[in-house]
Amino acid sequence: MHFHFTDEQREFGEAMSSFFMREVTPEFTRELWGTPTGRSAAMWARVAEQGLLGMSVPQAFGGLGFGDNAWSLMTQVCGYYAVPDGVFETAWLAASLIDSLEPGSPLQAQWLPRIAAGTARVAVAHPVNPLVVDAHLADLLLLPHEGEVHALHREDVRVSRRLSVDASRRLYQVDWTPSRATRIADAELGTRLWAEALNRGALAVAGQMNGLTQRIIDLSVDYSAQRKQFGKPLGSFQAVKHLIANVAVELEFAKPVAYRACYAQAQGDIRRDVHVSHAKLVAAQAARLACRNGIQVHGAMGYTWEMDLQIFAKRVWALDATWGEDAFHLVRAADHVFHSEAPLGPGYTFSN
Amino acid sequence: MHLQYTDKQNRFRGEVRDWLAAHVPREPLVSFDTAEGFEQHRAWERTLHSGRFSMVTWPVELGGRGCDLIEWLIFEEEYWRAQAPLRVNQNGIFLLGPTLMDFGTDEQKARFLPRMAAGDDIWAQGWSEPNAGSDMAAIKTSAVREGDFYVVNGQKTWSSRAVWADWLFGLFRSDPASQRHHGLTFLLLPLNSPGVTVRPIRHLNGETGFAEVFFDNVKVPVNNRIAEEGAGWHVAMATAGFERGLMLRSPARFQATAAALVALYQRNRAKADRDPSIRNAVLRAWMDAEAYTLSTYSTASRLGAGGSIGPESSTNKIFWSELDLRMHDTAMRILGPEAELLPEVREPGVAGHWLTGFLHSQAGTIYAGANEIQRNIIAERMLGMPRS
């Protein structure tokens, strides 16, 4: 029983954190808001150089072959810097889905090396998400049809943009026609693949939410130290302290739930669905409180376009209902607690 | 990250489970906040000790098993699962014990720890005073050095278990000219010392779970002092860290309550579902108890790998105390008109132990440092916000 990260995992996380601190600054994020694609090809290449895009690509295809567990810390790091979420669709969800196709599927040799090298973006549609992230730049799109998985090139689909409250999110309605030629997994395999993709998508959101919550705490602590009223820093007032402390408490108890869920997903644990839903529910709850209390601590400045707080708060609001809203995940958790024969008391936290 | 028990850990779980199945009293004991119940619970501590299960993390020579914190969590899971009695000596084994291990001399460890593990000495705590509650550094009770003794004068209050306990540990002002957290000394004294008067205070539930303790020229030998004279605050903070942190409230306790709450809801579903918020509250209770468990395993694992416990222990104390309140509040709402009935009322539909727990949960956000103080600690020491 080891419930902590190895030095190696922590060092990789810290290295990516320094990278994003330099590269994905709030100024850079605002600059991309105004561009037609909202994305930077140069940045994507630099992220690939760091190894991030190859984390779920097997070594045989030029990746690192780390698997799901490695995304525990990395999703948090990306959330902290509000890295656009399309990175997870390509590098985690699509890479894992393609890797899970029948062995020898030509798509593996064709796409996995390109994903790891940063020369292909793959968009992932899912029945729980009405719109598709970053479909406009996707070299390949993975699309569901009656449980099957279909793969289409960008030129074979029509995309039309929908504007999000978060200008970093690029969302598209995708219109396409399934055919035998586009099908890469039948309904039996496909249903399993979509279920795993949903869990990974929800885990990516949970991890990002935990990183975003930490960022909003840090911004609020900094602001409350600088801003003075009644001759004292705002942060010296107990009422202000408690607003931020309440967020810190929720975050402290959301993180280990996400780590356990990622581990369960990596292990193929039979209870992974309920663990994933639990992780997303509590991460989202903590993040919503972070937004609310963060804005309150910033006062009127918290409601301005000028404050960088909006970058992180809007990401929280935008991601909140993706990969299953609260209702979806509450139903999965309730199915476990109220309907399964599974024991619930002490001693059953870990599968053995 | 490897979230599976080892074979050794599974064997230990099996051994604990078998032993508890053979030894846990069939009938629940009377509350330890009564004269009869206190001695029943002392006898249970002796039984635990006979199986070397009274404090599994202690070294073998002190009556323990030298278990690590993960094994301690396993022990606690089995303990709560078996519905074994509450630990009457929790002040001793969970708070003073670890403090003595860190700060006591070898002579003190040999004198106090084996008797503590055996239930021969049951401990009360003496922190608060009438004018030093949340503001513990305002302590006034004095301990003046005279030769080989300290002479103690003053008053402590809210001393848990002091009505029937054997010994008291606490913090006393040894330097009359000192202010705040300076000049305080950590002393241990027998509650039957001449000059000690214990006046019971009744809890909300009518039982005498705590007491005022008056000191009138009480002589305490110098060798009952923990660490140096004047170092008491430092020692007390370490003890409080254990209290807020891992030891006082192991997660299994809340998992057991959450599972019982799910069962209560299932039995009363038709009635409970008329209020649609109840089902969600029950679900949340189970999730929060799991989250507290995961967090504790993560802390135990980090400590086992050489890390230390910091101000984040204050987040624990807030989380479990507020979870406990919410769970019991939900149970009361499920029980409806029967919720107000005392455990003595033995009729169908009455589940008075929830009322007992509900009353007890009202104290959780206050003892071991009020949650407002914990939030200040989080803001100032964990997040680095400016002091008031």
Interface with chain B: mutation pick from A349, A350, A351, A352, highest number of B CBs within 10 Å: A349
Predicted confidence (pLDDT) at residue A330 exceeds the cutoff of 80: yes
Segment B285-337, tens digit of pLDDT = 999 999 999 999 999 998 888 887 777 788 999 999 999 999 999 999 999 99
- Kindly report the average pLDDT of chain B as a whole number: 94
Note the pLDDT of residue B243.
55
Domains and CATH numbers, chain B: 7-88 (no CATH), 123-230 (2.40.110.10), 249-382 (1.20.140.10)
The residue of chain A with its CA nearest to that of B68 is A1
Give Cα A227 distance to the centre of its chain: 33
Of A67, A57, A65, nearest in space to A110 by CA: A57
Residue A72 at interface with chain B, using a CB cutoff of 8 Å: yes
With bands split at pLDDT 50, 70 and 90, how would you rate the model's confidence at A234?
very high
Instruction: State residue B244's pLDDT score.
Output: 56
The answer to which of A232-236, A328-332, B82-86, B95-99 has the lowest mean pLDDT is: B95-99
- The arithmetic mean of pLDDT across residues B349-357, rounded, is 89
pLDDT tens, B2-37?
999 999 999 999 999 999 999 999 999 999 999 999
* pTM > 0.90: yes or no: yes
Tell me the pLDDT tens digit for each residue of A80-135: 999 998 899 999 999 999 999 999 999 999 999 999 999 999 999 999 999 999 99
Tell whether the model's pLDDT for residue B185 goes beyond 80. yes
Contacts of A213 in chain B (CB under 8 A): none
> Does the CB of A282 have a partner CB in chain B at under 8 Å?
yes
Given this model, what pLDDT does residue A253 score?
98
CA neighbor of A337 nearest in space, from B253, B350, B288, B294: B288
Q: At what angle do helices A41-49 and A7-23 cross, to 10 degrees?
A: 160
pLDDT score for B309: 77
Q: What confidence category does residue B245 fall into, taking pLDDT thresholds of 50, 70 and 90? A: low
What tens digit of pLDDT does each residue of B29-56 get? 999 999 999 999 999 999 999 999 999 9
| pLDDT (average), residues A230-255 | 97
**β A140-145/A148-153 pair status:** antiparallel
Picking from B3, B277, B283, B380 by the largest number of A CB atoms within 10 A of its own CB, the best residue to mutate is B3
Chain B residues near residue A346 by CB distance under 8 angstroms = 76-78, 80-81, 251-252, 255-256, 259, 293
Mean pLDDT (whole number) for A316-325: 98
Tell me what pLDDT residue B242 has. Answer: 61
Strand ranges of the sheet holding A171-175, from the earlier edge strand across to the other edge: A132-133, A171-175, A158-162
pLDDT reading at B78 higher than 80? yes
> Chain B residue with minimal CA distance to A5?
B1
pLDDT tens profile B116-133: 999 999 999 999 999 999
pLDDT, position A66 = 94
Query: Higher model confidence: residue A326 or residue A342?
Result: A326
Task: Report, as an integer, the average pLDDT of B86-111.
Answer: 93
d(CA A87, CA B294): 29
**B247 pLDDT exceeds 80?**
no
pLDDT at B368: 85
The domain covering A194-339 belongs, at the CATH homologous superfamily level, to Butyryl-CoA Dehydrogenase, subunit A, domain 3 (1.20.140.10)
Mean pLDDT score of chain A: 97
Q: What is the least distance, in Å, from the CA of B156 to any CA of chain A?
A: 28
Position B303 scores a pLDDT of 86
Of residues A233, A278, A343, nearest to B287 (C-beta):
A278
Q: What is the pLDDT of residues A120-153, one digit of tens each?
A: 999 999 999 999 999 999 999 999 999 999 999 9
Q: Is 80 exceeded by the pLDDT of residue A212?
A: yes
A223 or B247: whose pLDDT is higher? A223
CB-based contacts of A172-179 (< 8 A; 24+ apart in sequence): A172/A131, A172/A132, A172/A133, A172/A134, A172/A135, A172/A136, A173/A130, A173/A131, A173/A132, A174/A123, A174/A125, A174/A132, A174/A135, A174/A141, A174/A143, A176/A141, A176/A143, A176/A150, A176/A152, A178/A143, A178/A145, A178/A148, A178/A150
8 A C-beta contact, residue A276 and residue A330? no
Question: What mean pLDDT do residues B183-208 have?
Answer: 96
pLDDT of B195 reads: 98
Mean pLDDT of B137-150: 96
Give residue B348's pLDDT.
80
**Chain B: residue nearest A246 by CA?**
B375
**What residues in B contact A257, CB-CB < 8 Å?**
287, 290-291, 294
